[in-house]
Amino acid sequence: MTKQRDILLTEVALRDGSHAISHQFTVDQVLDVTKALNDANVPYIEVSHGDGLAGSSVQYGLSKTNEMELIEAAASVADKSKIAVLLLPGIGTLHELKEAANLGAKMARIATHVTEADVSPQHIAYAKELGMETVGFLMMAHMAPVEKLVEQAKLMESYGADTVYVVDSAGYLLPDQVRERIRALKQSIGVNVGFHAHNNLSLAMANTLAAIEEGATRIDGSVRCLGAGAGNTQTEVLVAVLERMGIETGVDLYKMMDLAEDIVAPILQSPQEITKDSLTLGYAGVYSSFALHAKRAAKKFDIDSRDILIELGKRKVVGGQEDMIVDVAAEIAAKKEKVLS
């Protein structure tokens, strides 16, 4: 295994975790979490709506607080950590990217579906112009064969990405599948390779360690598992595991434990655990942020949320198609009513 002083952690609770609390972060919460992460020497802290810059909408979920206020607040107290933002082309624009950079964001993570890297060149290039470190984020990585993943990673590298991520948005991948993908990227591109996991099948830690063993040097985690679905690789646990393995991250374990217990736990609306809905996300290969949307639709139509998620998986619905959740729920309800009548 590579010497791990090269591994850098990105904390995603203030972005991915936005899904888990219906995008209700306050400025004070972001300040408290960022201060503690900065004090614990976490290299990067991602802050934005769960669906990235400009994600606040009826379709994706309305934010309690304008994300630019949250980014500015985080940047104001991060003198060691760098603030990162996520942008999905088609949701966020160059305008929001520039505003975030002006407010202190130092890293731009440009996220596309695993087969759609070709929508990202102007965003990656503009982030570089703004002086930001730039990441290509290939979401739903299980939905393309390895050869296609490599092709798309090469595109992002050619656009100027400093790092390309394999993103297991559904928490669907098994460790061997992660190994295969990370190994292929390491052999095919010359920039950093990263990995972002979800814990819907209780494999986030195993998959993250598999990615590291294959050479991934940029790793995401969410403190207290605060992320979409069943959350991400739990940051404080990952730091402890890596220290047990003799791998130094530079992150203070005790401070991460205290942050998780004293600051983040009270923010959670309910404990991050593998529920029947999050388990179904991983089993069916469905985008992790769909869990709450499916639960609401199930309640509205008096059906089982698992049936919605399984059908979404069959239809290979991806991020950005949240409007399909209600359509699918209505179809299932109509079929149910027809059977009963």
Please tell me which residue in 19, 23, 113, 142 is annotated as part of the active site: 19
* Cα–Cα distance, 92 to 110 (Å, whole number): 10
DSSP bridge pairs for 135: 109, 163
Annotated binding site: 15-16, 169, 196, 198, 287
* Cα–Cα distance, 16 to 328 (Å, whole number): 25
SS3 label, residue 315: coil
Q: Which residue has the tokens 């991520």?
A: 165
* Cα–Cα distance, 115 to 138 (Å, whole number): 8
Annotated binding site for substrate: 15-16, 169, 196, 287
* Cα–Cα distance, 79 to 82 (Å, whole number): 8
The token duo for 98 is 């520039």
CA proximity to 320, closest of 46, 29, 119: 119
Q: What is the DSSP string of 147-185?
A: HHHHHHHHHHHHHT-SEEEEE-TTS---HHHHHHHHHHH
The token duo for 284 is 């069916």
What distance lies between CA 53 and its chain's CA centroid? Answer: 13
Element counts in the chain: helices (H) and strands (E): 14, 8
19 is a catalytic site residue: yes
> What H or E segment, with its residue span, contains residue 84?
strand 82-87
Which residues 6+ apart lie within 8 Å of 57 measured at CB? none
Annotated binding site for Mn(2+): 16, 196, 198
Residues with a catalytic annotation lie at 19
